Amino acid sequence: MQTAELADFGAPTELSPAITFFVYEEDGRCDASRALLAVRPAAGTNTALVSHAGNVCPPLSSLGMGGAALYRPDGAGGTAFVAELDWDDWATLP
């Protein structure tokens, strides 16, 4: 929660056991993470999923500390990969 709040995306911060590291329903965590990525945000907004300890679900498992993978929900329950960002790339975003 602290990591998400420090990122200060301006939106409310919510806790989701779907991306909590090795605590809740470990067997279904990758499917739960993918399902969260596939949820379309409200028009004109974005959703940021923040995981403090990393993610073991490919392709999210390749992210480095402070890294981000950008996805676009496809409206059919899946996602389209957009880009991967390293920590120092954040400052270049519009």
How confident is the model over 28-80, as pLDDT tens digits?
Answer: 777 888 888 899 998 988 888 887 665 677 777 778 778 888 899 998 999 99
What does the alpha-carbon distance between residue 49 and residue 26 come to, in Å, rounded to a whole number? 18
60: exposed, middle or buried (Cβ count in 10 Å: 0-12, 13-18, 19+): buried
Counting every residue written for the chain, the total comes to 94
Which residues have a Cβ under 8 Å from the Cβ of 43 and sit 6 or more positions away? none
pLDDT score for 23? 57
